[in-house]
């Protein structure tokens, strides 16, 4: 079944209608002079900025996307792997899980200066920061999901000498998938945020760096154009996870 068959018209039409209404409201406010143009440029001005210098935004978007994908993959895979280890070893879960929850509420932006001090400037520092912000939601959500499997089903598999891996694939993973995808949704959006913040601090290229330069030079049109591309990247990644979740939901019990 195609992606189009899995996505209803309302899934596309309603967000598109909301976008049109928002753009019209934005344009009306700027055209009426309610807000000065040097504070809030019109959507037409922002679109012109994007169209007149597309190469600038494409190259910086690719840099941000690279940090997002590579760093996010490291954090997501690392978080999922630790979550499985914690779920398989009760002592490890009891020892580490409280600290993982505590670390999740720690403002990650406060860690960025430390990474700058310990690792220095460069692409690797940005990747480490993105991996850090995506790691914790993934591990906490996955651990919660892996604990949802009914104990009676675990006992049934143990009674027939099913191995640990078979029990994981047959029972624990299907019940955990809603939480796993919830963690993925959080992680992919946080990966974009993390990449942007890292570019404010350690990078010399990317949409976050472009926003910083636009702010220093009082160019809100540059900033809004970069934000538009960032939103597009975030929506694209989030939508990919949603489509993947719906595809899996047709084959496994996710409720």
Q: Which of 139, 149, 252 is nearest to 187 (CA)?
A: 139
Quickly state the pLDDT bin for 223 (edges 50, 70, 90): very high
Q: Structure pTM? A: 0.82
Length of the chain in terms of residues written: 255
From CA 25, how far away is CA 193, in angstroms rounded? 26
Compute the radius of gyration of the chain from its Cα atoms. 22
Among 133, 139, 54, smallest CA distance to 96 is for 139
> Mean pLDDT across the stretch 128-132?
90
DSSP 8-state code for residue 147:
T
Mean pLDDT, rounded, for 57-82: 94
Percentage helix, strand, coil for the chain under 3-state DSSP, each rounded to 5: 80, 0, 20
* Residue 195 scores a pLDDT above 80: yes
Domain spanning 42-249: CATH 1.10.3720.10: yes
**Which stretch of 75-84, 85-94, 168-177 has the lowest confidence by average pLDDT?**
168-177
Q: Are 233 and 169 in contact (CB under 8 A)?
A: no
Average pLDDT of the residues of the chain = 82
pLDDT tens digits along 86-112: 888 888 878 887 887 777 777 777 777
Instruction: Give how far Cα 133 sits from Cα of 30, 97, 216, 244, Å.
Output: 36, 17, 26, 22
Tokens of 193: 């945020």
What confidence tens digit (pLDDT) does each residue in 15-42 have? 778 888 888 888 888 888 788 878 888 8
């Amino acid at each position: 079944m195609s992606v189009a068959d899995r996505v209803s018209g309302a899934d596309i039409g309603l967000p598109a209608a909301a976008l049109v209404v928002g753009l019209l409201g934005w344009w009306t406010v700027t055209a009426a002079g309610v807000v000065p143009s040097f504070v809030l440029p019109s959507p037409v001005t922002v679109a012109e900025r994007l169209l007149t210098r597309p190469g600038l935004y494409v190259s910086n978007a690719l840099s941000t996307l690279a940090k997002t994908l590579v760093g996010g993959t490291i954090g997501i895979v690392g978080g999922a792997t630790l979550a499985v280890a914690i779920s398989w070893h009760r002592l490890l879960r009891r020892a580490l899980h409280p600290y993982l929850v505590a670390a999740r509420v720690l403002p990650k932006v406060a860690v960025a200066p430390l990474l700058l001090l310990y690792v220095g400037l460069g692409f690797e520092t940005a990747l480490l920061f993105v991996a850090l912000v995506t790691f914790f939601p993934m591990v906490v959500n996955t651990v919660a999901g892996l604990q949802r499997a009914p104990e009676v089903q675990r006992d049934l598999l143990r009674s027939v000498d099913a191995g640990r891996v078979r029990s994981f694939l047959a029972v624990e993973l299907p019940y955990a998938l809603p939480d796993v995808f919830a963690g993925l949704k959080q992680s992919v959006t946080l990966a974009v945020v993390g990449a942007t913040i890292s570019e404010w601090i350690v990078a010399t290229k990317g949409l976050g760096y472009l926003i910083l330069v636009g702010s220093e030079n009082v160019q809100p049109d540059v900033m809004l154009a970069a934000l538009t591309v960032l939103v597009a990247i975030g929506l694209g990644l989030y939508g990919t996870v949603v489509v993947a979740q719906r595809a899996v939901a047709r084959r496994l019990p996710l409720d």
